[in-house]
């Protein structure tokens, strides 16, 4: 993954698979969109990058030269494109609304041990760290009129950053003895 936007649809599907909330009722948070119509349960999710973890793995590939090189070096001179890959911890903040919110939030606990979820995680190269405590926001938000629950899912993904590495395109050294 090079940008978080690449995983938005994957996270949306993950929330749906783990909680049982229909895919069309799982929406990205903080978009200024109105809630889905009806009183059935719906969910919002917001991926938040936390920190990089572990050893960086680097790979290099040859690329076209960015600068002119000294003709004495030959005509097959190339630069490199380096990719650094490390594990990135992400908190997937989820909120559940309406009837069934508590059940959907409760389904997150140990969801990674269920076969369809573990297969989904494996196929998308996501590691499930743990699910945070469930929080009942019903009384805090609207005095019990609309059930609301919150939980954070802590995940690890591989994050890649690519950048050019320019080789020295030749230089001349002249020495004089006096």
Give ∠ CA 23-24-29 in degrees, rounded to 5: 90
**Going by CATH, does the domain composed of 4-31+39-65+78-165 fall within 3.40.228?**
no
Cα distances (Å, whole numbers) of residue 69 to 50, 74, 75, 167, 170: 42, 9, 9, 9, 7
- pLDDT the model gives residue 139: 67
- pLDDT the model gives residue 141: 54
- pLDDT the model gives residue 140: 56
Task: Output the tens digit of pLDDT for each of the chain's 178 residues.
Answer: 788 899 999 999 999 999 999 999 999 998 888 888 888 999 999 999 999 988 999 999 988 777 777 677 677 677 889 999 999 999 999 999 999 999 999 999 999 999 999 999 999 999 999 999 999 988 655 555 788 999 999 999 999 999 888 776 556 788 888 8
Residue with token string 């890649």: 160
- pLDDT the model gives residue 54: 84
Q: Which residues contact 177 (CB under 8 A, 6 or more apart)?
A: none
Beta bridge partners of 46: 93
Tell me the three state secondary structure of residue 9.
helix
The pair phi, psi for residue 48, each rounded to 5°, is -125, 115
Q: Model pTM? A: 0.81
Q: Report the alpha-carbon distance of residue 156 to residue 177 in Å, rounded.
A: 60
For β-strands 148-165 and 79-97, DSSP reports them as: antiparallel
């Amino acid at each position: 993954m090079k940008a978080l936007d690449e995983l938005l649809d994957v996270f949306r599907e993950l929330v749906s698979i783990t909680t049982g909330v229909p895919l069309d009722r799982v929406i990205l948070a903080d978009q200024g969109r109105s809630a889905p119509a009806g009183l059935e349960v719906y969910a919002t999710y917001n991926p938040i990058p936390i920190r990089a973890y572990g050893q960086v793995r680097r790979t290099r590939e040859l690329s076209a030269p960015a600068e002119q090189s000294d003709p004495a070096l030959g005509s097959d001179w190339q630069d490199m494109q380096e990719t650094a890959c490390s594990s990135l911890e992400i908190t997937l903040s989820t909120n559940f609304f309406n009837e069934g919110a508590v059940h959907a939030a409760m389904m997150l606990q140990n969801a990674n041990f269920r076969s369809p979820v573990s297969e989904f995680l494996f196929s998308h190269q996501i590691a499930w760290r743990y699910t945070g405590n469930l929080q009942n926001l019903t009384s805090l938000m609207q005095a019990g009129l609309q059930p609301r629950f919150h939980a954070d899912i802590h995940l690890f993904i591989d994050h890649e950053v690519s950048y050019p590495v320019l080789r020295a395109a030749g230089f001349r050294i002249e020495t004089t003895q006096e």
